[in-house]
Amino acid sequence: MAFKLSYSFEGNSRTKPEQNLSGASKKMTKDILLQKTHEERRKRQEQRLKLQSAELLQSHIRSYIDRKHKKEEERILFDELEGSGNIQVLLSKLLFFYDPREDKARLFKLANKLVQLNEGISNRMVTDSSFCWLIKRFLVQCLKNMKDNVETMILLQCLYIFTTDANMFIYLIQKDYYGYLRKQLENGKHHLQEIILLIYKPFKFTNDSDILSNLALSEFCTHFLKPSLTHNVKSILIPYMKSQHRDFPFEKLILYLNGINHFENSYNLLYCVLDLEPDDYEPNCSSIEVLSKLSSNIHELKPPPDLTEMSDDDEEEENPETVEKRFLLSDYLKILNRCGKVKKWLNLFEKNNNNEKVLVAFTNLCHNLLLVYKDSMRKYLLLYKFGLNSTFLIKLWEYLNKNNSRQLEAKGTSLAVWRNYHTALSVFCDMFTFYTATLTDSGKNNNYSRYKTEINTISEKSDTSHTFAQNDLFEMSKLLKNVARGLIEVAFPMSRASSVPSTPEVIHLYRACLNCVHILYTLDLRKKFCPVNFWTLDKIHIPPDLARKDYLSKKISSFYGSREDEDEHIPPLSTIEQRSLAILEELPFLVSFNTRILLLRDLCRNSLGEDDYQRLHHELMHDNVIVIRRTHIYEDAFDKISQKSELDLKHKVRIQFINNVGLEEAGIDGGGIFKEFLNEVLKTAFDPNRGFFLLTADNTLYPNPNVHLIVENFTDHYYFIGRLVGKAIFENILVDLPLAEFFLGKLLVERAPAHYLKSLDPVLYRNLLYLRDYNGDISDLGLDFTTVNNDLGETRVKDLKPNGSNIPVTNENRLEYIQLLADLKLNGQLKKQCTAFRDGLNSVVPLAWLKLFSHTELQVIIGGDTEEIDVDDLREHTTYGGEFVADHPTIILFWKIVSRFTEVQKKQLLKFVTSCSRPPLLGFKELNPSFCIQSSGTENRMPTSSTCLNLLKIPIITEEGTLKTKLLAAIEQQAGFELS
């Protein structure tokens, strides 16, 4: 194929591009063409809209100008006809052209004319509907133009005269009738009485129209009862409405409110409903349900915790809103505590106690009141009465049983939505705790059935054993123990994602349930309705770190709280450790006694140092030697270890005795001499002849309530004695001190409950029980609110409450009398003594550690185990000295004799050797020094002992009869104490 070649010989080898000089291409793509078309259409549309808008605007302007001219013409015509014109014409013209800036004077003139012609106007309104319509519109203008001045009076007169039927009020209320009147009520000063009449007037016609009834109640609540309660509403409007109870539809108000499920700021509405209630009104289920709904957020009125502790100097700076809430809360107390009102509520419950709706309504109301104060049970009369009402408790327990098992599992998913059974559980726990904390024991342990008729006839018989059967109490303990464990898991969640919001309801349920479980445990100590080891059936692990670091001394807060006064040097606890700590603080009895004893030992040991080196260092740095004269053992000990002394009894204390002739006794105190010293001083301090302590009927010790008449600085002495008891506990030295049950209880709690009175004064206790269950008229007994004290032969009358000598004891206030008298005997008379003793005890062993134990366990810690003495355990942990060994004939005879001793003789032997008749808590392996038997020579000697060394010295005897005779003679006479 031939190729066409092109050659150029111009000297430029590059070809030039072709150029088109005809201009840009006129061709368009389809998309560009469509876009251009749309844009042109849009512009045409905008142009049309502009033209239309201009025409509409011009039309409105022309209309406005025409109306303005027309109104001016009508205004001129109105002025011309005002003197002699037709009222209907004048009304229609005024309503047509009325402008508040120009026509107020015309409005007032016409209103005045209408008032003058009121009879004719009223008659015409009945026959002429079009005229009536004009009057309605005119009255709306009257509402809108009300001001706080004298001229407004004529408008108020028009409103009052021409509102003649239900339809008129329906129209006006729809036009914000109550809204305008609320503004006048708050801002006005001249016409309050007329405004009150207008507010009330619609309710005169509510029987004629259900529409008006619902509308008036709705708007009345919205504008007057729900907003903040001002002085005019509380002091003028509400009292007037209540005084007109024949016309005011209170029952319809209750039904209307009962149909509403949610209220905001309902505590204001609650106050109004309570205050509006007629004196002769009989409550019903609906009214209680309304009160329970409206009181749902009454707890929001209580001030924050930091404000409750505010001093008097800071009161001027208190927030006005907080002051208002505080006063409103005090008003609630007055209204809710009216005896007549509470009596009607109680009668309603008694008549309908089988009605579950009534029970739930009262339960919800009680729950809302319980959230307000920590001591709501004693502040609100309704709670106090229900707290002592056995029928209410029984029905509540039956309701819980009916909704038992799955619903009461207090896991996170269950508490995420608050339900009726949570409310019932919370209320039951509080009520049962209060019920049981009152005078509960009748001295019997009868297994009464809860369905006996006596319970329904005695509504305030506060005896748990008569209210619940043994099996009920056991089922109650089983349920609430499981719920409490679940609540602790909820309070200390594994992660924030699984946590439950710490609402007031949840926190209250947590506290109420734990307190109730504690009460049930205390009750079980007396009633024995739970099987042995029931409370410690579940094994609970206690981490060792809880003892190494003193976490127990600082209260841990639930629901992601922190320890009080949190120490940066103490590492944070894991969730499992927090739960264990919470159980130790709140429910320590779920942990076995031996575990808690070992924990107490570890806490005492670790308080001197975290390891042996630190403890040895502290012991060397605090080597305290105290010189004590045997002739003045108590006086010298008080001088050296009293409150004025800076001696820290947690550290080792060595005693140097001075004998009767003034010489130092030989020997170095290795612990035994201090033990002897401690026993002797406490024996002297607790001697009733010394005056600091007295004996109860069962020969147990308690502080002397009249000690102030004997010793002036008695609190220093009780502080000193408390320190010594604390030292005995700290050093694990058992002392034979039979302390009264109520006194032990007061060492663990601030105020002893009334049932402890049985251990202080059994006769008074029985008398109070008789008074509680007396079926006649108590006023016939001639009692008043006073008590007679015998102060060392001088009789004094003391009032139990202000003006108590003039207040007779009646059937209604007998429980208050019982509580006040028991509180005086247990707490009032002994307050200073017990406080000083507690402070002294706390200075050595923190009370937070001792609260791990019950009062009975505390007696065991102080004085030893109450179980029978295990001779085999004693023999296994006995050492021998001198010529004696385990298989020595005399030793074999000794153990043979001891094994045949009675329990009393065994205790005498133990006291003879160790100064305490009870064995150590965890067995004789704990006895320090160990129980030791040493030979004392020939057969003609008597057995002796050295209690400071736990040493028994017996002669070498090979005849069983002789050894037994001498041994019994020594231990029964408790003779032969010496320092070897």
Q: Which residues are catalytic?
A: 948
Report helix angle 420-437 to 356-370, nearest 10.
70
C-alpha angle 481/483/489, rounded to 5°? Answer: 110
Cα–Cα distance, 795 to 876 (Å, whole number)? 58
CB 744 within 8 A of CB 838: no
Q: What is the CA radius of gyration of the chain?
A: 44
The DSSP string of 161-177 is: HH--SHHHHHHHHHTTH
Cα–Cα distance, 789 to 324 (Å, whole number)? 45
In this structure, what token pair is assigned to residue 126? 């009945």
Considering only CA atoms, which of 673, 687, 686, 682 is closest in space to residue 626? 673
Bridge partners of 657, per DSSP, are: 628
Cα–Cα distance, 590 to 533 (Å, whole number)? 9
**Cα separations in angstroms, 7 against 1, 10, 13:** 19, 9, 9
Question: How many Cα atoms sit within 13 Å of 801 on the Cβ side?
Answer: 15
Phi, psi of 934 (to 5 degrees): -130, 145
In this structure, what token pair is assigned to residue 675? 């033990």
**Cα separations in angstroms, 849 against 60, 485, 744, 941:** 87, 21, 14, 47
In this structure, what token pair is assigned to residue 582? 């919470």
In this structure, what token pair is assigned to residue 8? 């150029």
258 residue type, one letter: N
C-alpha angle 959/960/966, rounded to 5°? Answer: 95
**Any residues with CB less than 8 A from the CB of 745 and at least 6 apart, and which?**
752, 753, 756, 855
Cα–Cα distance, 372 to 504 (Å, whole number)? 10
C-alpha angle 828/730/851, rounded to 5°? Answer: 45
Give the max Cα distance, the chain.
160
In this structure, what token pair is assigned to residue 463? 């005896």
